[in-house]
Amino acid sequence: MIKKMVITGCCGRMGQRIAVLASNDPEIEIVGATEAKGHNKIGSNLSKVTGVDALDIVISDDLTQAAKCADVIIDFTGPSATLSNLSAARNAKVAIVVGTTGLTTEEMKILESTSKSIPVLFSSNMSIGVNMLFKIAPEIAVLLGENYDVEIIEAHHNKKKDAPSGTAKTLAENIAQAKEKPLKDIASYGREGNVGARPKNEIGIHAVRAGDIVGDHTVVYAGENERIEITHRAHSRDIFAKGALRAAKYLADKSPGLYNMQNVIEEV
């Protein structure tokens, strides 16, 4: 069955790649594309923005209107825009996939509250490979035990606004949960000055911002005389766009609730 989709932030890097890949997916029909009020592409045709003639859709700033005939919305915008888009999705009773990072605790509570009314899928990273990393990284930490120090290093392009990345935070949260310790008590976000010896169970989280790096994440497990490193490198944004489209098709006919990419991957 064809899923009818609206893409928010359609002129952004992720929005454009989602639109282009969706245009080649026979299971998807794009029925709307939106941008923030005041954006200079409002009223323009999405085909002109993406260079894909098949995307003959006028860009709007009214998600509520655009969502009226949709099954699902994909949202890769920013925290404030995402909150507005969650509200519009709830009002239209349409499922929404959220890939926005940098959401605060309070903003996540709003997202969770919205999921009581409509299906909401949130993931800090839509890549299938990264979601495998989310699963195995904490398992490795538990198997190795307290004698192995855990450090997380992430690298992104120099335009990325939030740090550390949502993916790095999720990795740290998952590992801390597996160790049965609150992340706030054991996280160290970079180090500077005379910080003393490294406490046992600390999770170091470090952010690199340089050039046009799409996204690298490495989890380091360092013990006496050996070190294990697991790295995921994104070669293009298409892995995130493809994951988001897979998530959208999964979510479109689900009941209200909060879902994640593990649900998508585990459903055969």
Torsion angle defined by CA atoms of residues 27, 32, 38 and 40, in that order, rounded to the nearest 10 degrees: 70
CB-based burial, 142-169: b 16+ in 10 Å, e otherwise:
eeeeeebbbbbbbbbeeebeebbbbbbb
61-92 burial, b if ≥16 CB within 10 A, otherwise e? eebbebbeebbbbbbbbbeebbbbbbebbbeb
Of the residues 3, 156, 169, 232, which is catalytic? 156
Q: Which of these is catalytic: 4, 160, 181, 254?
A: 160
Quick check: is 41 catalytic?
Answer: no
Let me know how long the chain is: 268
DSSP 8-state code for residue 13: H
Q: Which two tokens stand for residue 133?
A: 């990393």
- Which residues are 218's β-sheet partners? 153, 231
39 part of the active site: no
Is residue 243 a contact partner of residue 126, using CB atoms and an 8 Å limit? yes
Helix (H) or strand (E) holding 223: strand 216-223
Of 222, 239, 242, 238, the C-alpha closest to 230 is 222
Active site members: 156, 160
